[in-house]
Structure 1
């Protein structure tokens, strides 16, 4: 098998490829030959040692894998061999040609969902579907502002809000990112200049929900653009700066700030089993056409470092997947 190795925390460009034996599935496990592996901004943080979870070195990054079951361990039905599946690994190890995983965590792919699409949607769509099912309610007709709407998590936010019946206002830094957000279902696209006033104008007075995976300078402007009972959803800090939001602005007009940490939920309260159930729901909704993710950009496994660097520098548009 081939896998990506991170020997020390630092630049993604220092990642290397290593060869090794194909692992054997243990009792209760399946062996999956990867077809597509999701790449995320969080992966870049982990490689740089800037995430709250720091795996012991050396390690293989990645957690979202789609592929085909090629062998099963003791106690697992042989009929699973040949099944296309998607899985979120409980730890890391996804940037590889083969992975083993407990059989209950290998979710069969609906016929209409390709491995590439599954790998692309896992982390981003799981985060947003977790958000709207566990943390914040979005009702039909509400106005939802999405910051960083040209990236993978932003496009997922646009699509999930659209599917909930919301009117989506997308904020992105470049024309190509705004075009991608519009293709994902945004009705209005904005840049970051004069953001508070632009949002208030676009929403006719104030947004109902702000989805923010970016942080930085735009955060306070977006918070101030919320209307009465508005909800500000914190998903991350892709800008590299954690904002200090004024409590008086939250108090005014009964606004609220809601943390969205799907990763913590999948490791703790929901656990790997609960997360597999959530993944099955996401894939089923994609298969039925309720959620409509765009096609990912494909890169070979050997380009993992360059792809992570592109995402870390916020030059990526949409989702990327690796093909082992």
Structure 2
């Protein structure tokens, strides 16, 4: 018996689909029949060989997360593919640590849950755990055209935010932010902090309580200027820049709280609980993100489209 799988033969090259032996499972692992596997930014980074995890051992099956079935029940699961030796989710069958499995609620679309996955977990935990969102607060979500940002707009609303203002760089991202339900959308098409600050101030209803920031750089500096005294900015990415020109006077005069967030700080129990919340929102129709479904056999072209930004949303591979 063989199974279809996407395999990275060498760092920097897209995966190719091959027939290979089923994965060997340790006593702590179980075989999961994969129904949906997303192509995420971390998958692309790890496979490039330039991540802080180092050059991956090849060949390997990529896919740091997926959705599948075990004994007929739908489950979500993580892997360490590309970060440590071993295979991931982009195959018909995956060997997964039993302790890492997260049962999904009835009615949850496996493709949508795969598209949301750890990105939505990050949005939820950055808002609630690190950001301490409370009902009635005004929230700014940067990078709202991406999966984290789209999820954050909807999750902030579900958490009781009175107003959610989104920022996105591209026209397509701005459209996705609107579709996610943002009350106002700010174009982040300049690095002029003064100009961006004026745009945020015009879009916001007075001082902001919380900024969710997957971008850093000029957008974060501008959004920080809209925060009320004691306001919070939670950073969970740097796609707009590794440094940020937040001025000392803004930081000190308002006693702002700048907080960092990473999913790597979560315990398995925290991650599983957050994923279940995300899946429950999705099952109720209260949470979605732009995504597209691609057959596993077309992974090479899909991989390149996701890497180049040409995809219409998060690509999810299906058998």
Partner of 1:84: 74
**How much has 1:220 moved relative to structure 2?**
1.8
CA distance in structure 1 between the partners assigned to 2:90 and 2:278 by the alignment: 22
- Residue 40 (1) aligns with residue 32 (2): no
Contact 1:150/1:318, CA 8 A, preserved across alignment: no
Partner of 1:186: 182
Partner of 2:85: none
CA distance in structure 2 between the partners assigned to 1:91 and 1:103 by the alignment: 16
Number of residue equivalences: 305
**How much has 1:305 moved relative to structure 2?**
4.4
CA distance in structure 2 between the partners assigned to 1:134 and 1:163 by the alignment: 15
| 1:39-58 matched pairs, under 5 angstroms | 39-54=39-54, 56-58=56-58
Contact 1:214/1:237, CA 8 A, preserved across alignment: yes
- Point out where structure 1 has 5 or more consecutive residues left out of the alignment: 70-80
Partner of 1:72: none
CA distance in structure 2 between the partners assigned to 1:30 and 1:236 by the alignment: 33
Contact 1:197/1:225, CA 8 A, preserved across alignment: no
**How much has 1:308 moved relative to structure 2?**
4.1
Moved more, 127-136 or 244-253: 244-253
CA distance in structure 1 between the partners assigned to 2:303 and 2:207 by the alignment: 35
- Point out where structure 2 has 5 or more consecutive residues left out of the alignment: 83-87
CA distance in structure 1 between the partners assigned to 2:252 and 2:50 by the alignment: 32
Residue 208 of structure 1 aligns to a residue whose secondary structure is strand
Partner of 2:292: 297
Partner of 1:163: 158
Q: CA 1:251–1:8 in structure 2 vs 1: closer, same or farther (change >3 Å)?
A: farther
**How much has 1:163 moved relative to structure 2?**
0.9
**How much has 1:295 moved relative to structure 2?**
5.5
| 1:233-252 matched pairs, under 5 angstroms | 233-239=234-240, 241-252=242-253
Aligned Cα RMSD in Å? 2.4
Query: TM-score normalised to the size of structure 1?
Result: 0.84
Partner of 1:148: 143
**How much has 1:4 moved relative to structure 2?**
2.4
Partner of 2:66: 65
Residue 231 of structure 2 aligns to a residue whose secondary structure is strand
Query: TM-score normalised to the size of structure 2?
Result: 0.86
CA distance in structure 1 between the partners assigned to 2:91 and 2:239 by the alignment: 26
1:134-156 deviation per Cα after TM superposition (whole angstroms, max 9, x unaligned): 21111222221111111111101
Contact 1:169/1:187, CA 8 A, preserved across alignment: yes
1:152-199 deviation per Cα after TM superposition (whole angstroms, max 9, x unaligned): 111011111111121111111233322211111211112025211111
CA distance in structure 1 between the partners assigned to 2:310 and 2:244 by the alignment: 22
